[in-house]
Structure 1
Amino acid sequence: MATPTIPRDADELAEALGDTATLKHIVKDKDTLESFILDFAKGQQKHNPDIEAQIKAETQRQFAEILRNEQIDGINRLNLNPNAAPVARSRHYNPKAPGASLDKQFGNWSDFLVATWAGSKGQAAMAAQDQIAQIQNAFGSTVPSDGGFLIPEYLRSELLRVALEMAVVRSRARVVPMETLSVPYPTIDSTSNASSVYGGIVGYWTEEGGTLTDSAPSFGRINLLAKKLTLYSEIPNELFKDSLISLEQFMNESYPEALAWFEDVAFTSGNGVGQPLGYLNAPAAVTVAKETDQEAGTILWENIIKAYSRMLPASIGRAVWVANIDTFPQLATMAQSVGTGGSAVWIGNGDGAGAPPVTILGRPVVWTEKVSTVGTVGDINFVDFGYYLIGDRQAMQSETSTHFKFGNDKTAMRVIERVDGQPWLQSAITPNQGSNTLSPFVKVATRA
């Protein structure tokens, strides 16, 4: 008799053991019985969904435990060493960026800045000339006459990593690497869901065998064009000559903060002319009107409720409130009217003890001084930053001059990056049902 087929489930197993000829072959000797049992068990482990689910759940539990205990080197801690494996680097690191070829030549900011310092002299400077020649480059495609030095890629990614931790917009937006000066990014040209979705897709109920009706989305594109952002500092020459530690600290602390600051300002309120277009100026933004007879410089609970109602329903789960810190007194004291009385709605603890809440209607509040002051349009906004695009040109350059501030014994230093920011959605959406348009960018009108 041929070797019996291994059962795939309990029913086939019962059938095999119920057949006398098959059973006789299975128990013919110890080896055949052992082989049959092992093959059946392996098959069950491979195909049994309950066992697969148990394995998957246990694997996830063990991996979560490893991450909590930091048992894997490099997983919970960023490693920007250029010789490290790519998986351990910052997510801002781009191995294709022009500065990536310089990573092994300069291990930190102080080495790089001293080697490219305009005041470098002596044997050490001469030894660095070959390296300097390799990293000499134009500052940007739009200003080819400017000379500068490409910053090593892992130093650039370190700047962006620290800036990310401080930024309002970059940490939440959709970041697009740019390996050329201009990058077109596709978008759905959608303005209404009243009769179609995604700019033209329509679903039809069709009889069996009936002719299908064609429909297709309407596509557009956003052109991300790298804009030049310059950071400028005047550094005492003693930092270059005597204190490499202070120079390193200066670059690690001052420049990321400045980078995050000016990027955030542009991503928030930029006008799009030679700079990014901020989300407050997005064509798709909607503005909630003030209440009748509302006093100047106030925020009412009704403003908050109506702003929330204008958010795209699909975006509510990731939208955040972005508010000027000037708005805090208004938010902390706003009340909900109930007949002739009312009660505070945001801070429920009447004794003022403890920290204030950090959410409104369940969504986080981000405090910043970069949006409008209280009472003006944009002082409090409800935003889904998933609809904001940031284009990273993936190149950053620096240059120093000892001549501009020669009389002060200082070196003028500038760092230039190229970046762009654009709202992804170009129009507010008319809902399928309802009288108000919806948007991922919602702001309250001026109360004056």
Structure 2
Amino acid sequence: MAKTAIPSTAAELEDMISDRSKVEQLMNDGDFPEVIKAYAKTIVEKDTDLKAQIIEQTQMGLADMLGDGTVTNEIKRINREALNSVGSGARSALYNKKALGARLDGTFDNIGDVVRANWHQVSKLTDREELLSKAAKANEIVNSYGSNVPADGGFLIPEQLRSEILSLSLETSVVRPRAMVLPMESLSIVIPTIDETSHASNVYGGVTAYWTEEAASLTESQASFGKIKLEAEKLTAYAEYPNELFQDASAFGGFLSQTLPQAVSWFEDDAFINGNGVGQPLGFLNAEAAVSVAKESGQAAGTILWENIVKAYSRMLPTSHGSAVWIASHDTFPELATMALNVGTGGSAVWLNNGVQGPPMTILGRPVIFTEKTSQLGSAGDINFVDLSYYLIGDRQSMQVAVSDTFKFQNDKTAVRVIERVTGRPWIQSPMTARNGSASTLSPFVKIAAR
């Protein structure tokens, strides 16, 4: 690069750009881009506030891209190799260096260590000195992080392990990997939303565009805003373990690392789907914004017709056709596999064409996810077409573990309790009336009615 002094202030940059001959020389030498990059680097390194603003704006830009569908969620599974380090893969999206448990990172190797260090008979373990040292360090940092009830207490799980638990739980979760997850630094947060119920005459709850003559007066319009309050609820996982299991560090750690993520994801998922919103998340099946597709005339009980599927697809918000998924009960499979498109007196299967290959696991180009957490076959919500980017999850980003030796003393067992604070609810509050005035409203949450 040419021996050009790198500007260190906006004034120096202006002086350099004002010197036409200098700029032309830099351009001819191909050094102009390098000088500008060097200037930007110098300014960012000197101005930490500017650096923070750049990072914030970049994150906001990425969030906008994700929110409007510019970036689609094509990754359906977690790369387990990416979980080997905190700063990579799915864990980096869940890890928060400002979370309460981040102060304990590096203290414990796994969740089993956390529980064993808190065990009443830890002094009898072969690795007791190491565990007691870790427990002492943890106790220096936190005594009780119960958010509502001080008696909640317990050991705070390190953020590194908490994020790993949730990363692994994404493997079995239906809602969390596809929803919008918001970190909560307090027990409640307020999320702004557009108060929009119809596109019949405007968009965004009141914005209208007009074709206007030159110099004519403009007609005023504005958006209508609302808010959604997320309040963290307490999810408690409880289990009892034989005291002998605590003696084997590797076996106990491995067992907890497998069972805990599955338990957390199971009950979270169930609430995000079916929750009634009272002391628990509001599931999308119970959302006010959900629309229901009526059964066909004369349709037999417990059946699924191709017409049900087509009409459910037609009720999805058009902007969500590329991101919505089918979420269906496992016992809907026989009906889906045998549903047919009738043509005159004939017809043919529309999902499975032969018994050689496995099912395509897509319907009308969108993925099908089978679960036992939705309604059973024939009940409302046994098969749903949903865009879960319209579902908000508020994550308090703290997890606690407590161990009791008294409750199951007579059985030589130790009770382990894990507490997480999380909530969830749909982002929009009502179905949408289409621009063409159709009687069939639109929604990102579509379910087939009881049959």
Partner AA of 1:413 in structure 2: V
CA distance in 2, matches of 1:340, 1:445: 27
The Cα offsets for residues 389-431 of structure 1, whole Å up to 9 and x where unpaired, read as 1111011001000111111111100000000010001000000
CA distance in 2, matches of 1:253, 1:262: 15
- Specify the alignment match of 1:26 in structure 2: none
Structure 2 matches for 1:323-362, cutoff 5 A?
Answer: 323-349=328-354, 352-362=355-365
Q: CA deviation at 1:78?
A: 2.5
Q: CA deviation at 1:252?
A: 1.1
CA distance in 1, matches of 2:108, 2:162: 12
Q: CA deviation at 1:40?
A: 4.6
Range with greater deviation from structure 2 (107-116 or 197-206)? 107-116
- Specify the alignment match of 2:166 in structure 1: 160
- Specify the alignment match of 2:440 in structure 1: 436
SS in 2 for 1:329: helix
Q: CA deviation at 1:45?
A: 10
Percent pairwise identity: 58
- Specify the alignment match of 2:265 in structure 1: 260
Indicate yes or no: 2:212 matched with 1:224. Answer: no
TM-score computed with the length of structure 2 as normaliser: 0.79
- Whether the 8 Å CA contact 1:192–1:432 is kept in 2: the answer is yes
Q: CA deviation at 1:114?
A: 2.1
SS in 2 for 1:357: coil
SS in 2 for 1:255: helix
- 1:238 to 1:189, Cα distance in 2 relative to 1, 3 A: same
- Specify the alignment match of 1:322 in structure 2: 327
- Specify the alignment match of 1:114 in structure 2: 116
- 1:44 to 1:403, Cα distance in 2 relative to 1, 3 A: closer
- Whether the 8 Å CA contact 1:135–1:149 is kept in 2: the answer is no
- Whether the 8 Å CA contact 1:163–1:259 is kept in 2: the answer is yes
The Cα offsets for residues 337-386 of structure 1, whole Å up to 9 and x where unpaired, read as 1112221111123xx11101111111110011110111110001000001
Q: CA deviation at 1:149?
A: 1.3
- Specify the alignment match of 1:305 in structure 2: 310
SS in 2 for 1:311: coil
Indicate yes or no: 2:295 matched with 1:293. Answer: no
- Specify the alignment match of 1:404 in structure 2: 407
Q: CA deviation at 1:109?
A: 2.5
TM-score computed with the length of structure 1 as normaliser: 0.80
SS in 2 for 1:372: coil
Structure 2 matches for 1:127-166, cutoff 5 A?
Answer: 127=133, 130-138=136-144, 140-166=146-172
Q: CA deviation at 1:258?
A: 0.6
- 1:358 to 1:216, Cα distance in 2 relative to 1, 3 A: same
Q: CA deviation at 1:154?
A: 0.5
CA distance in 2, matches of 1:441, 1:129: 46
Q: CA deviation at 1:43?
A: 8.8
- Whether the 8 Å CA contact 1:90–1:158 is kept in 2: the answer is no
Aligned residue among 229, 239, 259 for 1:233: 239
SS in 2 for 1:303: helix
Indicate yes or no: 2:105 matched with 1:103. Answer: yes
Q: CA deviation at 1:166?
A: 1.1
SS in 2 for 1:91: helix
- Whether the 8 Å CA contact 2:112–2:257 is kept in 1: the answer is no
Larger radius of gyration: 1
Q: CA deviation at 1:144?
A: 2.1
- Whether the 8 Å CA contact 1:136–1:148 is kept in 2: the answer is no
SS in 2 for 1:252: helix
SS in 1 for 2:370: strand
- Whether the 8 Å CA contact 2:401–2:417 is kept in 1: the answer is yes
CA distance in 2, matches of 1:444, 1:41: 67
CA distance in 2, matches of 1:431, 1:158: 42
- Specify the alignment match of 1:214 in structure 2: 220
Indicate yes or no: 2:47 matched with 1:42. Answer: no
SS in 2 for 1:342: strand
- Specify the alignment match of 2:17 in structure 1: none
CA distance in 2, matches of 1:261, 1:129: 29
- Whether the 8 Å CA contact 1:335–1:345 is kept in 2: the answer is yes
Q: CA deviation at 1:77?
A: 3.4
Q: CA deviation at 1:231?
A: 0.7
- 1:184 to 1:39, Cα distance in 2 relative to 1, 3 A: closer
SS in 2 for 1:117: coil
Q: CA deviation at 1:442?
A: 0.4
- 1:393 to 1:295, Cα distance in 2 relative to 1, 3 A: same
CA distance in 1, matches of 2:387, 2:221: 29
Q: CA deviation at 1:132?
A: 4.2
- 1:443 to 1:39, Cα distance in 2 relative to 1, 3 A: closer
Indicate yes or no: 2:392 matched with 1:386. Answer: no
Partner AA of 2:243 in structure 1: N
- Whether the 8 Å CA contact 1:90–1:161 is kept in 2: the answer is no
- 1:42 to 1:135, Cα distance in 2 relative to 1, 3 A: closer
Q: Please report the RMSD computed on the Cα atoms of aligned residues, expressed in angstroms.
A: 2.4
Partner AA of 1:147 in structure 2: G
Q: CA deviation at 1:235?
A: 1.2
- Specify the alignment match of 1:183 in structure 2: 189
- 1:132 to 1:281, Cα distance in 2 relative to 1, 3 A: same
The Cα offsets for residues 22-63 of structure 1, whole Å up to 9 and x where unpaired, read as xxxxxxxxxxxxxx99965839999xxxxxxxxxxxxxxxxx
Structure 2 matches for 1:270-289, cutoff 5 A?
Answer: 270-289=275-294
The Cα offsets for residues 205-228 of structure 1, whole Å up to 9 and x where unpaired, read as 222222222211111111110010
- 1:369 to 1:126, Cα distance in 2 relative to 1, 3 A: closer
- 1:328 to 1:131, Cα distance in 2 relative to 1, 3 A: same
The Cα offsets for residues 213-252 of structure 1, whole Å up to 9 and x where unpaired, read as 2211111111110010011111111222x20001110121
CA distance in 2, matches of 1:227, 1:116: 25
Q: CA deviation at 1:129?
A: 5.5
Shift >4 Å, 4+ stretches: 36-41, 43-46, 84-89, 125-129
